[in-house]
Structure 1
């Protein structure tokens, strides 16, 4: 049995941010993740750290301001991990938005961000910069940012661990213990302990007066069990395609409105490949793993051929896919999925706080909101230390922005496997709680997505390192390979 000030359930970006914010305040923290860290939406997003230009149309000024401020802070504090990404939005006859509307929108965007990135390119300039892009009336340019969402989550977790948090992946919450009726108030009493099963199968009782559940779109299915008000969530699937960059070598991001429904879509270079997204499709069953549908694949390929009519792209060009489930708060007024707002949701009762909604960019604000809601059940004096000091960084400087560890020279000039430093792979195997092959190839590294055939050709090379550092014997490695390849085909494959 152990005692913790705070138990965090969920190891995605928001749960990681809560653990970091709480540990920095001096709270004793245990974070439990049922699967792997960032294995849900936090590794299957659009990889964009953005202010949400389309929020202008929705009138969501507060969310845009919050997002732009968060984007700017991450650009300052996480160089190498969060990178500037120039965007072009082409203008075509009959297209939307028009040049004047876009100019006005970008003026507001820059004002809220506190710096100017907007520009305008003529049709000739567009062809010189992005050959083949359909932009008869030129294009508007602006800047947002991109990241490796899984590595960003892992970086937050690394900092949380260094601040004293205890982290457990492939572990599960078995149940909460509450005070007797009347002892802690309504609803069967406030939380006093939790039962947790670790990756080794052993159960553990943790005394705690506060639990923050960051379960994304699955919060709705857990609310009754947690004795929280039922959240009005609308799980939306966002699917993406990854193509070899050589097939459409874009030097920057391009965003445009899909001819089919006017939704914003985009394509941009990411880790040496071409990322194309995204869809917005209702998926009422939040417990089912999201997968690319055939219709979504057709939709995204049609979008590419609309913007680049001479490219002639098809399903054979797609290397892999991924889908994430967005926990969007439902308006209940019959809006299209893309018109729903992206604010976050915080629910609290009897020592339990539920956190959902929001977006990748605003994880720090979400963590702050969750901790403020949890304040009645946390040691009060420890809440005096703010999450983000007025003039301090959200993340401290690291020797390498992407890995965030202190590998130093070992990352430069050494042996590589599939373009990833062997030193980084071995570091992950030793220090980043890799328990399955997909943990390594999908989230500690991106080899499973970036290499052809889900990096199957690299598996014999990786075998010796996995056996040495994880203690796997040959049958266990073969079992992991079979499991990994089946998972990749099921969740990251492409329709013929």
Structure 2
């Protein structure tokens, strides 16, 4: 059997799934499902994760990339959510350096604006107390001009700086899955759960379809955990009440030189007083996010609308008027759908809905609804505690690390910062990546920080089934390179096609599929073409 985690291994493993009764099956390959699987696997549970498309395909690759405590949740009285978030943020900073990194956030203050320096300073004092460390400071106008050249100066009073964190959300999912696999979990993508199996009023397994090769399987389990985000209601009993309110958040990615920022800026949009962010990420600049009801088909990737594009460009003009950012400057876009548990009849504005999670339970099945990327571990613990109760086995939270320590490994030709980045993104797979770097060199793709060797390791050992898996989630080249990476397709083909085992016809199909997908879901909306 192939030792690498790839399409060949997948074909060999799929037919064997029905021969075993699993302790736990997890449905959903985003950060929530990955977290549940990881916590179960390290406790010795025999567990299986099934993802219908690709890992992190939904919200977990299209978030705002922030691992944050949720400062605005303090003002809404959501103390527990903020407390858990700041603690988990610090845990991730400590356990996953190079993947989760601290980022300075600046909020400028203007005459007559809200919140002013004192109000924000008070909120941040509570925020720091929950985190157990002080991280905020006020800078006067003169200091702010030095720290933030180009920021709007009309009525400027100064700015308050505090610290949160950023990540590559899709790589975070891959690292968590890697830890689960190291503890014996089986992880598959391209497998759709068609229905739950119930016997004597209890969920006892699933009927699944292989979306790549066809064919149906029946797989049995002691307990099922559903962590499908905005799709969480799909597998519930027909008479269960509908509670999810899918909310779309869209983002723009600009070349770093077009709107250079050394830290994140957060400010209230003039149109609706919602917080908006402009921050550096992967050598580019992100502008986000929106927050509105997503009424389109959840089975299609979300896309930015012309109205959202206008809203985010207006945010750039508001805060950085001299930059004169226009639609033609945009490298790429992405939109994610947040799985928010809505208020009664959705009576609140989208931004006022709680980001707290809830559990829905029926015998043999626990469904996680809502929640945040930052708090995936405590959410997973809560789900597993409920699952353990259904299995009638003991359960305790020993607060063990999510990630194993990446041992020092000398990779000639790489700087210390490059090593930190690669160790953070690849974790246990760093030795295999080092072997490929030795063969392929340490050249990066275009102007990005991504090594060609990272593409190679993804093709060989990161379960790439389609080209968009490789370019949008295993790496972020489809977002960071102009036109989705079009200029690099020849070199990508030369490196990746043989490693993926695709013939020329399959490669052409994948290129056509990727171009159409990128144009529709990561380019500019049609009204701007």
Name the counterpart of 1:243: 254
Match of 2:425 among 386, 402, 415: 402
Q: Which of these residues, 271, 280, 289, is aligned with residue 282 of structure 2? A: 271
Secondary structure in 2 matching 1:361: coil
1:13, distance to aligned residue in structure 2 (A):
0.4
Residue 360 of structure 2 is aligned with which of 347, 360, 364?
347
1:417 is aligned to 445
In structure 1, distance between residues paired with 2:246 and 2:197 = 29
Residue number among 130, 134, 146 corresponding to 1:112 in the alignment: 130
Q: 2:399, 2:487 → 1: CA distance?
A: 44
- Structure 1 residues 178 and 356, CA, compared in 2 at 3 Å: closer, same or farther? same
Q: Describe the superposition over 1:104-131 as per-residue Cα deviations: whole angstroms up to 9, x where unpaired.
A: 0111111101111100101111110110
Which of the residues 94, 100, 104 maps onto 1:82?
Answer: 100
Structure 2 CA distance for aligned equivalents of residues 41 and 50 of structure 1: 16
Aligned length: 481
Aligned to 1:486: 516
Deviation at 1:221, TM superposition (A): 3.4
Q: Equivalents in 1 of 2:72, 2:444: separation in Å?
A: 40
Q: Is the 8 A contact 1:5 1:379 kept in 2?
A: no
Unaligned runs of 5+ in 2: 1-17, 408-422
Moved over 6 A (4+): none
Deviation per residue, 1:144-169 (Å, 9 max, x gap): 00000000001001111111110110
The aligned counterpart of 1:39 is: 57
The equivalent residue for 1:204 is 217
Structure 1 residue 309 displacement after superposition: 1.4
Rounded Cα–Cα distance in structure 2 between residues aligned with 1:350 and 1:217: 22
Match of 2:245 in 1: 234
- Matched residue, 1:155: 175
In the other structure, the counterpart of 2:144 is: 126
Matches within 5 A, 1:173-322: 173-179=193-199, 184=200, 189-198=201-210, 199-224=212-237, 229-285=240-296, 286-322=298-334
Post-superposition shift, 1:288?
4.3
Which residue in the other structure is 2:482 paired with? 452
Aligned residue for 1:30, secondary structure, equals strand
Q: Give me the whole-angstrom Cα distance separating, in 2, the residues matched to 1:218 and 1:147.
A: 24
For residue 376 of structure 1, report the CA deviation from its aligned partner: 2.8
Structure 1 pair 109–343 and aligned structure 2 pair: CA distance change class (3 A): same
CA distance in 1, matches of 2:256, 2:164: 20
Q: TM-score, normalised by structure 1?
A: 0.94
Is 2:195–2:235's contact at 8 Å kept on the other side of the alignment? no
In the TM superposition, residue 444 of structure 1 has moved relative to its aligned partner by: 0.4
Q: Residue in 2 aligned with 1:61?
A: 79
2:374 maps to what in 1? Answer: 361
Cα shift readout 1:350-398 (whole Å, capped 9, x = no counterpart): 11111120111011111111112222333614x34x3623xxx221122
How far the C-alpha of 1:287 sits from its partner, in A, is 4.0
Partner of 1:380: 393
2:445 maps to 1:427: no
Conserved 8 A contact 2:266-2:276: yes
Stretches of structure 1 that go unaligned for 5 or more consecutive residues are none
Between the aligned partners of 2:434 and 2:294, the Cα distance in structure 1 is 46
Partner SS for 2:234: helix
SS across alignment from 1:347: strand
